[in-house]
Amino acid sequence: MFRRLVFTYKSNKAAIKKTTCWLLIAAFVAFLSWYIFCLPDELFKDSTSTVLLDSDGVMLGAKIADDGQWRFNAGEKVPEKFEVCLLQFEDREFNSHYGISVRGVGRAIVQNFEKGKVVSGGSTLTMQLARIMRKNPPRTFTEKIIEMFLATRMEIRYSKKEILGFYAANAPFGNNVVGLEAASWRYYGRGVQHLSWAESATLAVLPNAPGLIYPGKNHNLLLKKRNRLLKRLLDIEVLDSTTYRLSLSEPLPDKPVRIPQLAPHLLSKLIKEGYKGKTIHSTLDKNLQEKAIQLLQKHYGILKDNKIYNGAVMITSVSTGKVLAYVGNTKSPEAEYSCDVDCNDAPRSTGSILKPFLYAKAMEDGLITPAMLLMDVPSRFGTFSPKNFSSSFDGVIPANKALSRSLNIPMVRLLNDYGLSKFHIDLNNYGFTTFRKPAMYYGLSLILGGGEAKLSELNRAYTQMAQELKFGKAQSILLVQEERKKISSRPITNRACIYQTFEAMVDVNRPDEEGNWRAFSSSQKIAWKTGTSFGFRDAWAIGVTPDFVVSVWMGNADGEGRPGLTGVKAAAPLLFDIFAQLPKSVGWFTQPAQQMSKVSVCHESGHRASSLCETTDEVWMPTTCLSSVACPYHQTIHLSKDGKSRVDSDCESVYNMQHVNWFVLPPFIEKFYKFNHPNYKVLPDYKAECLAKISDRAFVIQYPKPNSTIYVPVEIDGKRGRTIFEATHRNVNTKLFWHLDEDYIGETKEIHQFSLNPSAGKHVLMLVDENGISSSVKFEVE
């Protein structure tokens, strides 16, 4: 029995021992598993502030993190001064221990025993990092043990530099400031790389008791801590005596520095585009940004008396494509509600600001030469009757002058000839995103502000035109330095046509929209264009040099129009003030000779010269213009022997005629043209007997009949249709010029039919032939 009991005891003892062994192994495996996986993949997942820096790393603005903390993304490395200060204050053995300092723990035990309370925790910098990672739980013995294990695990996974970087980026620095980068900007208003020894020492002592001391709280205690650390740096010969004394004399910051807000609209824009929580290295130039803000505010101060409260400015480098200044709005106490609107990115009515694109594309298409005459007379296109702002007419005007003077009627006629749908496609190719509706939705008013565009997209389009002219290809317009440059695979516009367009835009003496001439002083050559939207709601001005593109918009963000809110009056003065602050371009764009040809041009009409042109000029123009129409205005006319009257073979012997080449304008153009051109030679009248015979061969208006009432048909879709008006001329080769209610609507030759859609009411149709003979009928549309 005894032996059996002994045997049973020994068996149970062995089993217990075996079980205990397995339990210890299991516990060790569990601990080892926990130890291996105790650290998360990311130590910190806290939200971070969005920080906007200029091209040199100077802060332009920042937005606080979602949790209400100023917590910036970690810098590339911890600055040497701060690293030295931090390690001398917090953990002098940091580079030699493995997360736990035995000497430090022993010292803490002795200090706590002598004081009779906990005055030191003996934590290494790595242990402090573990505590910060765990969101600062209550200080207990168990928590201290956990921190030790986590610290050793961190030492295995990360290098010393990485651990130091984590600490610097996530340590609390008092108030709601987290991390060295945020602390440097909040307390000293500059980046960590620019901190002095005294400033680095001040920041190094803050994480030790961030709730107790920070700039603005317990000033004397903070000063003692900083100076004690500086004395330590002197003792170990990090500082010399001179640097030490100078460092002691540096004052502490009294309170946090206000974060700059130099580009709030750009910051908000980039946050929406996916940069939230990041440190953004923008392309902006802080000094230029500040100048642009100051100048915009200066002009706002002038315009606010007219209740014009908002504006925007962009400046771009042609060479790099980098945006150097982005001012999205004014600072207007009178309209605070609208100052948050980013007017650089808000669609606004374009006014005349798109005209240079049409001018360039019409030359590229061979439709015009740079200075050929465009018709400027009262005109009607269906129900659309454009007007010049001055309400005056030139009859005909060189295309380049029509552009620089921003005349509406010549440009509407040019768009009609070029093709509305084609130009609509061109605008999309230029990168505009606002012309989403079909071309017919906008109609011919597209060139006068019938559509909307963003200042940022106009700035990009003009910059890329300058780049194509200067380099042969356009590239991306950059707001962020990390963005990859994209080079356009093909030119959007012929370089020679861009060159001629910019040449047409350089006049510094221009009329405003009310006909008053203004001279803008500039010490350099600038190609510039203004625009004014209908109702005086938007004022635009964009200028181009080989180095810079400056874009300006002025108006009210809510769309309220104001008298005098025009491109020349409200936007152009700011444009030229900004250019005065920019480095002046050396020279001008180089003429792209390979895409240009020397052409004989009619001196009076600007067309390619015909054999009838009396005076010609040899000029360089885009090769694409070689397909344009030769001069149609010079004709051979027959004069009487004394040269005082026109004749023809029906009333004068050929032997008694003089044959002269004459610059002839149609009668309805001539009456406007000769008013501004006193040297214009009017055609002599026909000899009396000749005129009688010519009149006898004149034309008849077949439809509508005089004083008749006509009905415009309604189409299947319910819209008003069109009616064919018709006339006949006894000389089939004679042109007839058609006018409806004194507005010129077009010309016909041989077959004199015109499709019209007149509105309901009374109208007058008048036709004039080349000889000045006219006929008209009154009719009514029901």
Whether 241 shows a pLDDT value over 80: the answer reads yes
Tokens of 391: 């309400």
Computed over every residue of the chain, the mean pLDDT equals: 89
Report the alpha-carbon distance of residue 33 to residue 460 in Å, rounded: 57
Whether 480 shows a pLDDT value over 90: the answer reads yes
Task: Tell me the residue ranges of DSSP E strands in 459-592.
Answer: 509-511, 517-519, 527-532, 538-544, 548-555
Cα–Cα distances in angstroms (integers) from residue 359 to residues 11, 51, 67, in the given order: 106, 42, 54
The predicted structure's pLDDT at residue 607: 96
Report the alpha-carbon distance of residue 317 to residue 283 in Å, rounded: 10
Phi, then psi, of 478 in degrees rounded to 5: -105, 135
User: What is the pairing mode between strands 70-71 and 177-178?
Assistant: parallel
**pLDDT-derived band of residue 673, with 50, 70 and 90 as boundaries?**
very high
Residue type at 562 in one-letter notation: R
Alpha helices in 555-637 (DSSP H): 572-581
pLDDT (tens digit per residue) in 290-303 = 999 999 999 999 99
Tokens of 673: 């043209």
Q: Which residue, among 407, 398, 411, 350, has the nearest Cα to 542 in the 3D structure?
A: 350
* Rounded average pLDDT over 138-160: 87
The predicted structure's pLDDT at residue 425: 96
Cα–Cα distances in angstroms (integers) from residue 276 to residues 48, 145, 265, in the given order: 8, 37, 14
Report the alpha-carbon distance of residue 188 to residue 175 in Å, rounded: 15
Residue type at 80 in one-letter notation: E
Least trusted range by pLDDT, from 205-214, 424-433, 598-607: 205-214
Task: Tell me the residue ranges of DSSP E strands in 678-722.
Answer: 699-703, 708-710
**pLDDT-derived band of residue 477, with 50, 70 and 90 as boundaries?**
very high
Q: Which helix or strand (DSSP H or E) is residue 151 part of?
A: helix 141-157
Helix (H, G, I), strand (E, B) or coil at 141: helix
Tokens of 289: 């940004």
The predicted structure's pLDDT at residue 119: 46
The predicted structure's pLDDT at residue 107: 67
* Residues in CB range of 54: below 8 A, 6 or more apart: 60, 282, 284, 285, 286, 289
Using an 8 Å Cβ cutoff, are 166 and 158 in contact?
A: yes
User: What is the pairing mode between strands 743-749 and 708-710?
Assistant: unpaired
* Rounded average pLDDT over 606-623: 95
Tokens of 343: 């007017």
Tokens of 151: 């610290």
Report the alpha-carbon distance of residue 455 to residue 551 in Å, rounded: 7
* Rounded average pLDDT over 579-607: 95
Q: Which residue, among 47, 56, 44, 62, has the nearest Cα to 279 in the 3D structure?
A: 62
| Beta-carbon-side half-sphere exposure of residue 163 (alpha carbons within 13 Å) | 26
Whether 28 shows a pLDDT value over 60: the answer reads yes
Using an 8 Å Cβ cutoff, are 152 and 100 in contact?
A: yes
Radius of gyration of the chain (CA): 41
The predicted structure's pLDDT at residue 135: 86
Report the alpha-carbon distance of residue 623 to residue 275 in Å, rounded: 46
Helix (H, G, I), strand (E, B) or coil at 514: coil
Helix (H, G, I), strand (E, B) or coil at 63: strand
> Between 318 and 679, whose confidence is greater?
318
Cα–Cα distances in angstroms (integers) from residue 351 to residues 355, 406, 569, in the given order: 9, 10, 14
* Rounded average pLDDT over 123-146: 87
- The percentage of the chain sitting over the pLDDT mark of 70, rounded to a whole number, equals 92
Whether 609 shows a pLDDT value over 90: the answer reads yes
> Between 334 and 105, whose confidence is greater?
334
Whether 696 shows a pLDDT value over 60: the answer reads no
- Exposure b/e, 423-447, CB count within 10 A at least 16 = b: bbebbeebebeebeeebeebbbbbb
* Residues in CB range of 771: below 8 A, 6 or more apart: 686, 694, 734
Whether 693 shows a pLDDT value over 80: the answer reads no
Winning range, highest mean pLDDT, from 86-100, 123-137, 284-298, 683-697: 284-298
* Rounded average pLDDT over 508-534: 73
* Rounded average pLDDT over 496-523: 74
- The percentage of the chain sitting over the pLDDT mark of 90, rounded to a whole number, equals 63
Report the alpha-carbon distance of residue 645 to residue 93 in Å, rounded: 113
The predicted structure's pLDDT at residue 516: 58
* Residues in CB range of 165: below 8 A, 6 or more apart: 74, 75, 77, 78
In the chain, what is the straight-line distance between the N-terminal and C-terminal CA atoms, in Å? Answer: 133
Question: To which residue do tokens 């600001």 refer?
Answer: 353
* Rounded average pLDDT over 105-109: 63
Tokens of 124: 């290494």
Report the alpha-carbon distance of residue 16 to residue 26 in Å, rounded: 15
The predicted structure's pLDDT at residue 179: 95
Report the alpha-carbon distance of residue 381 to residue 593 in Å, rounded: 38
pLDDT (tens digit per residue) in 764-780 = 999 988 877 888 899 99
Partner residues linked to 543 by β-bridges: 528, 550
The predicted structure's pLDDT at residue 80: 95
Report the alpha-carbon distance of residue 685 to residue 692 in Å, rounded: 12
pLDDT (tens digit per residue) in 706-757 = 999 998 887 777 777 888 999 988 777 788 999 999 889 889 988 899 988 8
> CB 102: neighbour CB atoms within 10 A?
10
pLDDT (tens digit per residue) in 348-393 = 999 999 999 999 999 999 999 999 999 999 998 888 899 988 888 9
Tokens of 311: 């504006």
DSSP 620: E
User: What is the pairing mode between strands 509-511 and 373-376?
Assistant: unpaired
Report the alpha-carbon distance of residue 162 to residue 606 in Å, rounded: 72
pLDDT (tens digit per residue) in 541-552 = 999 999 999 999
Report the alpha-carbon distance of residue 508 to residue 523 in Å, rounded: 11
* Residues in CB range of 733: below 8 A, 6 or more apart: 749, 750
Report the alpha-carbon distance of residue 64 to residue 72 in Å, rounded: 9
Cα–Cα distances in angstroms (integers) from residue 412 to residues 384, 406, 442, in the given order: 10, 11, 12
Whether 578 shows a pLDDT value over 60: the answer reads yes
* Rounded average pLDDT over 202-211: 88
**pLDDT-derived band of residue 120, with 50, 70 and 90 as boundaries?**
low
CA 182 to chain centre: 30
Tokens of 582: 């920019």
The predicted structure's pLDDT at residue 407: 93
Report the alpha-carbon distance of residue 188 to residue 192 in Å, rounded: 9
